[in-house]
């Protein structure tokens, strides 16, 4: 994004819109930087800290006394949060994802945005809810291209840049690949999982993806178990259904015979997240997260955009020819 001029007469900056930071894509990563309008700080004059007056009671005899302490300036906190955001690991393709530019095609998507936005705006740094317990995350389920990663990115961006939360994003199959490469370099899986276990908020994308090998299942189980036991908040997105269990079995077909309905049921069972991650992990997800499932007929936004931009869509007679 091009650099802009500092705002004048109290007007919002045309580059950052008043946020004081800019989000942009750098290679395959989403990155942040301090906006040009906020590079020079009028509060501390570039010192990075300010004196703040406080009041406290050090003895009952003396009573309240006022004193000054040195605190980081708002510009220092801004730079720290920008640095934290650049460690999250969000994909570059969602660098500009926000709640305001998420397009909902149906009521379920609108609810998904509402759940994510409420979580982000109500989250208290430290990971506790209003009752003092672990803050409950959410899991978004739906077909590909329905904006699940968009909402994860919007949530993490708000938590990191507006609240100052340390967070990470990981796509599960890439995590498996990273651990395998680590084995070749003499690293243990725990060395890679450790930082993901300890971070305050973790977003795991594409949950359930993979071959379901013992290595993958053990890795996923260890990561979720560590976070569950530590009471840390975790967000998820998956292409697999959140339905709790298989449908009741139909009457068995004769040996050697497989009906169309049998085949459909087998596919449907494979699409359940519970089948992909196992009972232990699924049970913990039920306690850790609010479930949001998007209908199977929710439009693929990427595909819809491509079809709308296609020359065939705009060609004369395209609609007439489509029905032939």
Q: What is the edge-to-edge ordering of all strands in the sheet holding 201-205?
A: 167-171, 201-205, 233-238, 137-141, 289-293
pLDDT at 202: 98
What confidence category does residue 62 fall into, taking pLDDT thresholds of 50, 70 and 90?
confident
Q: What are the helix (H) ranges across the chain?
A: 74-85, 107-122, 148-158, 172-184, 189-198, 214-230, 260-270, 273-277, 279-288, 301-309, 311-314, 318-322
- Which of 173-177, 186-190, 259-263, 265-269: highest mean pLDDT? 173-177
Q: Residue 311: pLDDT band by 50, 70, 90 thresholds?
A: low
Residue 235's DSSP bridge partners are: 203
Residue 10: what pLDDT? 57
* Strand-strand pairing, 167-171 and 233-238: unpaired
- pLDDT for res 267: 44
Residues 76-92: tens digit of each pLDDT: 999 999 999 999 999 99
Select from 138, 33, 147 the least CA-distant residue to 100.
147
User: Would you state the pLDDT for residue 319?
Assistant: 37
Total residue length of the chain: 324
Does residue 258 have a pLDDT over 80?
no
Q: What is the pLDDT of residue 265?
A: 45
pLDDT digit string, tens, across residues 175-186: 999 999 999 888
Q: What angle do CA 45, 50, 53 make, to 5 degrees?
A: 145
The domain 87-248+258-305 is placed in CATH, from the list 3.40.50.300, 3.40.50.10320, 3.30.70.360, 1.10.287.90, at 3.40.50.300
Q: What is the pLDDT of residue 111?
A: 95
pLDDT band for 323, please (50, 70, 90 cuts): very low
Our CA angle for 15, 160, 200, nearest 5°, is 170
User: How far is C-alpha 202 from the chain's CA centre?
Assistant: 7
Q: In the prediction, which pLDDT does 167 show?
A: 98
pTM of the model as a whole? 0.81
What tokens appear for 194 in the block? 């450790």
Give the pLDDT of residue 54.
Answer: 82
**Which of 187, 148, 157 has the alpha carbon at shortest distance from 95?**
157
Q: What is the sign of the dihedral through the CA atoms of 293, 297, 298 and 301?
A: positive
Q: CB of 160 within 8 A of CB of 85?
A: yes
Mean pLDDT of 98-105: 94
Strand partners, 65: 56
Q: What is the three-class DSSP state of 203?
A: strand
Confidence of residue 55 (pLDDT cuts 50, 70, 90): confident
Residue 324, pLDDT above cutoff 70: no
Lowest mean pLDDT among 99-108, 112-121, 123-132, 135-144: 123-132
pLDDT grade for 23, boundaries at 50, 70 and 90: very high
**How confident is the prediction for the chain on average, in pLDDT?**
84
Across the chain, which distance is largest between two alpha carbons, in Å? Answer: 94
């Amino acid at each position: 994004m091009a650099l802009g001029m500092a705002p004048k007469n109290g007007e919002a900056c045309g580059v950052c819109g008043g946020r004081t930071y800019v989000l942009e894509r750098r290679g395959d990563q989403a990155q942040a930087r301090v906006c040009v309008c906020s590079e020079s700080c009028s509060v501390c004059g570039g010192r990075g800290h300010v004196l703040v007056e406080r009041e406290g009671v050090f003895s009952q005899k003396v009573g309240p006394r006022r004193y000054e302490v040195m605190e980081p300036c708002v510009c220092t906190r801004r730079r720290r949060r920008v640095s934290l955001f650049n460690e999250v690991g969000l994909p570059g393709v969602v660098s500009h994802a926000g709640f305001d530019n998420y397009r909902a095609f149906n009521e379920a998507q609108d609810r998904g945005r509402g759940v994510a936005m409420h979580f982000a705006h109500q989250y208290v740094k430290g990971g506790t809810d209003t009752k003092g317990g672990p803050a409950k995350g959410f899991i978004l389920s739906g077909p590909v291209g329905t904006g699940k990663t968009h909402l994860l990115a919007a949530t993490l961006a708000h938590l990191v840049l507006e609240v100052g939360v340390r967070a990470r994003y990981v796509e599960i199959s890439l995590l498996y690949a990273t651990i395998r490469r680590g084995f070749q370099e003499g690293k243990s899986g725990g060395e890679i999982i450790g930082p993901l276990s300890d971070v305050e908020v973790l977003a795991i994308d594409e949950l359930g993806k993979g071959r379901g090998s013992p290595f993958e299942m053990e890795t996923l189980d260890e990561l979720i178990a560590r976070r569950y036991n530590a009471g840390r908040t975790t967000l998820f997105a998956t292409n697999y259904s959140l339905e709790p269990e298989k449908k009741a079995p139909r009457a068995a077909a004769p040996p050697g015979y497989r009906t169309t309905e049998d085949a459909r049921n087998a596919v449907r069972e494979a699409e359940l997240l519970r089948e992909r991650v196992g009972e232990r992990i699924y049970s913990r997800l039920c306690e850790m997260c609010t479930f949001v499932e998007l209908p199977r007929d929710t439009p693929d936004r990427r595909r819809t955009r491509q079809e709308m931009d296609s020359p065939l869509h705009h060609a004369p007679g395209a609609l007439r020819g489509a029905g032939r």
